[in-house]
């Protein structure tokens, strides 16, 4: 076992470098749980940057987390476009009615400016507060929706598929508009103090869109956008499978791939072949019903199948841990990583 005391950032960078740090890094991608920590409703919690910064810092201490996640909620970008977001007492905020009502509206669409969005400015303020406390020691993870996947919230899945398959000129126009916004938003987070950007791109997965279509569309978008982000990126499929497009993810320049519980981790590790670090792959929905001991078994399986030689960060497979996952489960995950994730992994036969 190494005697070096790693910071969370050093531990993560070592794993990304395909080497073994003191233990496997743990990224608990917690968003709403901060409201529970502070005894607030979800809506109240996300109303103030200080609430989110305080909640994230407390959760990192409590669960010995190796990252801080600055995501408020996925449709916060839709608010910036003037769309509706609906809050719930026991789950993540969701998009309301799509604000693009007809495909022809794309011709009149203009990207919002981050500096004009009160919602996005709250996130930037949160990142700045967190950076003042732990910058340089803990990875701060900013989040963007990919230009290719964002239209599902902008116009609804059915209407977007119509544009994707039957209106190539409108699709290309929408992508250029969304790319401008995505880069503005990603780089604003980097400037505020985010260490890296999680590029959520669920439509890139063959779980949702066939590979050949992705290669002609979303892959081209990612190759333009990811190199223009002024910091490292992780591409996340939000529980979609990755092996069929793994070579393409490497080509985009992303460093990390969020991987699915629907693919065997050892198979993904073999396919990645040290070209990407894997982030995953606890099943978030199953975690809701875990009993004592289930978390430990899952963590041991993940470590056994993916941790040798570095290149692994333990996390959930969706990119956000559900509200109903209990504190007891999260504490067991943390304890299991601390016990079984220490290098060298001599307990593995």
Examine residue 348 and state whether it is found in any structural domain, yes or no. Answer: no
Domain CATH number, residue 76: 3.20.20.210
Examine residue 346 and state whether it is found in any structural domain, yes or no. Answer: no
Examine residue 40 and state whether it is found in any structural domain, yes or no. Answer: yes
pLDDT digits (tens, 9 = 90+) for 258-293: 999 999 999 999 999 999 999 999 999 999 999 999
Q: What are phi and psi of 180, to 5 degrees?
A: -60, -45
* Tokens 């996390």 -> residue: 315
| CA 81 to chain CA mean position, Å | 21
* Overall number of domains in the chain: 1
Examine residue 62 and state whether it is found in any structural domain, yes or no. Answer: yes
Q: Is the peptide bond before 281 cis (omega within 30 degrees of 0)?
A: yes
The closest alpha carbon to 226, from 260, 251, 189, belongs to: 251
- Please state, in angstroms and rounded to a whole number, the distance separating the CA atoms of residues 144 and 77: 8
The reported pTM is 0.97
pLDDT digits (tens, 9 = 90+) for 226-242: 999 999 999 999 999 99
| Domain region containing 200 | 8-340
Examine residue 349 and state whether it is found in any structural domain, yes or no. Answer: no
Examine residue 3 and state whether it is found in any structural domain, yes or no. Answer: no
Q: How far is CA 187 from CA 139, 191, 340, 348, in A?
A: 16, 6, 37, 41
List the chain pLDDT tens, one digit each, 349 residues.
Answer: 456 889 999 999 999 999 999 999 999 999 999 999 999 999 999 999 999 999 999 999 999 999 999 999 999 999 999 999 999 999 999 999 999 999 999 999 999 999 999 999 999 999 999 999 998 999 999 999 999 999 999 999 999 999 999 999 999 999 999 999 999 999 999 999 999 999 999 999 999 999 999 999 999 999 999 999 999 999 999 999 999 999 999 999 999 999 999 999 999 999 999 999 999 999 999 999 999 999 999 999 999 999 999 999 999 999 999 999 999 999 999 999 999 999 999 999 7
- Please state, in angstroms and rounded to a whole number, the distance separating the CA atoms of residues 102 and 165: 15
Q: Contacts by 173-179 with C-beta closer than 8 Å and gap 24+?
A: 173/106, 173/107, 173/109, 174/106, 174/109, 175/147, 175/148, 175/217, 175/221, 177/106, 177/109, 177/110, 177/111, 178/111, 178/147, 178/148, 178/150, 178/151, 179/147, 179/221, 179/224, 179/225
């Amino acid at each position: 076992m190494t005697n070096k005391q790693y910071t969370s950032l050093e531990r993560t960078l070592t794993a990304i470098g395909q080497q073994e740090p003191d233990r496997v890094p743990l990224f608990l991608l917690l968003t709403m749980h901060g409201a529970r920590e502070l005894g607030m409703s979800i809506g109240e919690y996300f109303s103030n940057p200080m609430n989110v910064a305080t909640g994230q810092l407390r959760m990192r201490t409590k669960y010995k987390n190796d990252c801080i996640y600055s995501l408020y909620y996925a449709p916060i970008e839709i608010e910036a476009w003037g769309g509706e977001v609906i809050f719930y007492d026991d789950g993540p905020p969701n998009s309301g009615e799509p604000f693009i009502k007809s495909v022809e509206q794309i011709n009149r669409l203009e990207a919002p400016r981050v500096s004009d969005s009160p919602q996005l400015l709250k996130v930037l303020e949160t990142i700045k507060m967190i950076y003042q406390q732990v910058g340089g020691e803990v990875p701060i993870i900013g989040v963007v929706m990919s230009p290719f996947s964002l239209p599902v919230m902008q116009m609804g899945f059915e209407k977007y598929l119509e544009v994707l398959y039957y209106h190539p000129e409108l699709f290309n126009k929408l992508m250029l508009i969304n790319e401008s916004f995505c880069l503005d938003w990603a780089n604003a987070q980097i400037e505020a103090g985010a260490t890296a950007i999680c590029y959520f791109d669920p439509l890139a997965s063959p779980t949702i869109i066939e590979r050949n279509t992705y290669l002609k569309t979303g892959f081209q978008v990612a190759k333009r956008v990811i190199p223009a982000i002024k910091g490292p990126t992780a591409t996340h499929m939000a529980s979609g499978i990755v092996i069929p497009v793994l070579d393409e993810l490497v080509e985009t320049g992303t460093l990390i791939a969020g991987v699915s519980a629907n693919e065997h981790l050892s198979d993904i590790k073999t396919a990645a072949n040290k070209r990407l670090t894997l982030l995953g792959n606890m099943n978030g929905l199953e975690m809701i019903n875990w009993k004592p001991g289930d978390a430990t078994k899952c963590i041991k399986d993940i470590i056994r199948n993916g941790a040798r030689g570095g290149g692994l960060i333990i996390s959930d497979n969706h990119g956000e841990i559900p509200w109903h996952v209990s504190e007891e489960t999260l504490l067991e995950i943390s304890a299991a990583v601390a016990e079984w994730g220490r290098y060298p992994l001599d307990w593995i036969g």
